[in-house]
Structure 1
Amino acid sequence: MATHLRPIEYLRSILGILVFFLLFLIATPVIAILLIFSLGKATNFIIKYIGPAIAYPVIWITGINFEVIQHGKPVDKSVIYTINHSSTLDLLTMIALGLPRVRFVAKWELQYNPLFFIVGRLTGQVFIQRKNRAQAIPALLKTYDRLKRDRLSIMVAPEGSRKHEGIIGPFKKGAFRMAIDLGFPIVPIYFEGNKELSLGGSLLTASGTIKAHIHEPIDTSDWSLETIDDHIDHLRGKYMEWAGVDEKTNYEVPGTE
């Protein structure tokens, strides 16, 4: 992970932050108008096109080369996308993907920012209180009917938080329980470079390359609550493999860079 930034990277980061919030501010009334005149049907258009239109200028300003690598054919049905979560850059790269008909599971605290609250609520994102399991699970259950009815996909970070020990944090059961309940395949997305470029929880970032690896879907049709721990371990093992992580120490294997 980056330990220091060059002066130009500080300047780029600060400019990127300002541009992000300016674009978000401009986009908010546009989003509201689109949703009003479309009777709420423009949400998928907003996420697929307006989201990347906000994210890509910021990515460019900060000197990041963002590559999307599709492993296998893109899916054309409802799925659960899982991502590794270790950096504030994850928010940008998630939005930049512009995946079709997707909704995001986000932490409740993001709503404390009025712009995120307005846009998140308008576009039907799922905010959960991750530290309160009794409230988090019902919040996810309430989305099931909407996901099925509108043929939506959902994106979730199984680690729950970017603040965790090692490279890949422990996986929570929420995404896997949803896969079982809904019968949706899981499509793992591995962000390569986010953790290395960002300074932990900082909004500042170094310049460099980020690759979003969209892997082939994992069939969940034969999963059950009795085997859920095995599936969690298997997928987390895949993320550790992609990250070049020693499964015993949860830190990078020497010589993998």
Structure 2
Amino acid sequence: MSYSEFGFTEYLRSILAIATFFLIFLLFTPVILILLLISFGKASNFVVEKIAPVMVRPVMWVSGISFSVKMHADEIHSPAVFIINHSSTLDVLTLLALGLPKIRFVAKWEFQYNPIFLILGRLTGQIFIKREKSEKAIETLKKTHHRIKSDQLSVMMAPEGSRKHPGVIGPFKKGPFRMAMDLEYPIVPIYFEGNRELSKGGTLITKSGQVTAHIHEAIDVSDWTVDNLNEHIKEVRNRYLEWAGVQNDEVRPIS
């Protein structure tokens, strides 16, 4: 998606949205820091569940984006390993807008280059991994298992690893599925409809429109094994292909 695809109004709206994004983060950061310090970090869940959605909703409103959640399950299973389709910078906003209970995000290491994200991410217990080093990433995830399990936290991950991937739904890495098996958590698929169509670039330059987060039924992994893992990953990815209206393209899982 090139900038030439945007009209002047949408381009201007996106610039205002980016300014709103950074302004809100600058204003809320001291409040969040104080809240975390006086609570000795125990307010992390409140920050992610209640404050984060309040912070990003105005940004989407300025962008002309209408965001909604559609439940395809009776309730949101928690704790769980939540997974999403990742193809747009808008995913950052829609993830935070969900306000899922006791959630921690697995994010790329480079997010920490922004001092605000570094401070808030570390203080709220988010997980940063080096995606290009698969074994190192898995090792980092394993080190967090005890904290996640003991605190009954949920985890949010993107099986595609990066928004830059071939096709509408890229190859799935094994990390999220291995983590679900190790934690003995179910997997809850979330499909973002509209993010990719509104913004395919690496910035928040976006078209106005509708984005819907489809939260699906939890997937039990209690009978998954190392031997049948690839087949199960393929089945989950096929669901995403179906939701995206794409035929099965037989892409193998990535270690």
Using the size of structure 1 for normalisation, the TM-score is 0.94
* Distance in 2 (alpha carbons) for counterparts of 1:124 and 1:139: 13
Give the Å deviation of 1:201: 2.1
AA partner of residue 146 (structure 2) = D
Does residue 244 in structure 1 map to residue 245 in structure 2? yes
Does residue 14 in structure 1 map to residue 15 in structure 2? yes
Preserved contact between residue 186 and residue 218 of structure 2 (Cα < 8 Å): yes
AA partner of residue 148 (structure 2) = L
Task: Name 1:253's counterpart in structure 2.
Answer: none
Using the size of structure 2 for normalisation, the TM-score is 0.95
Give the Å deviation of 1:249: 8.7
Preserved contact between residue 128 and residue 136 of structure 1 (Cα < 8 Å): yes
Q: Mark the runs of 5 or more structure 1 residues left unpaired by the alignment.
A: 251-257
Task: Name 2:230's counterpart in structure 1.
Answer: 229
Q: RMSD over aligned Cα, in angstroms?
A: 1.4
Task: Name 1:171's counterpart in structure 2.
Answer: 172
* Distance in 2 (alpha carbons) for counterparts of 1:241 and 1:107: 27
Give the Å deviation of 1:218: 0.4
Deviant stretches of 4+, over 6 Å = none
Give the Å deviation of 1:74: 1.8
**What is the total number of aligned residue pairs between the two structures?**
250
- Per-residue CA deviations over 1:210-252 (Å, capped at 9, x if unaligned) read 00000010011111111110111000000000000122399xx
- Per-residue CA deviations over 1:57-114 (Å, capped at 9, x if unaligned) read 0010000010100111223531000000000000000000000100000000111111
Task: Name 2:133's counterpart in structure 1.
Answer: 132
AA partner of residue 137 (structure 2) = A
Task: Name 1:162's counterpart in structure 2.
Answer: 163
* Distance in 2 (alpha carbons) for counterparts of 1:136 and 1:52: 28
AA partner of residue 247 (structure 2) = D
Task: Name 1:120's counterpart in structure 2.
Answer: 121
AA partner of residue 227 (structure 1) = N
Q: Mark the runs of 5 or more structure 2 residues left unpaired by the alignment.
A: none
Task: Name 2:146's counterpart in structure 1.
Answer: 145
> More deviation in 76-85 or 166-175?
76-85
* Distance in 2 (alpha carbons) for counterparts of 1:232 and 1:76: 20
Q: Evaluate the alpha carbon distance shift between residue 200 and residue 249 of structure 1 in structure 2; reply closer, same or farther with a 3 A threshold.
A: farther
Task: Name 1:74's counterpart in structure 2.
Answer: 75
Preserved contact between residue 180 and residue 225 of structure 1 (Cα < 8 Å): no
AA partner of residue 114 (structure 2) = N
- Per-residue CA deviations over 1:126-147 (Å, capped at 9, x if unaligned) read 0000101232111100110111
AA partner of residue 89 (structure 1) = L
Does residue 38 in structure 1 map to residue 39 in structure 2? yes
Does residue 102 in structure 1 map to residue 88 in structure 2? no
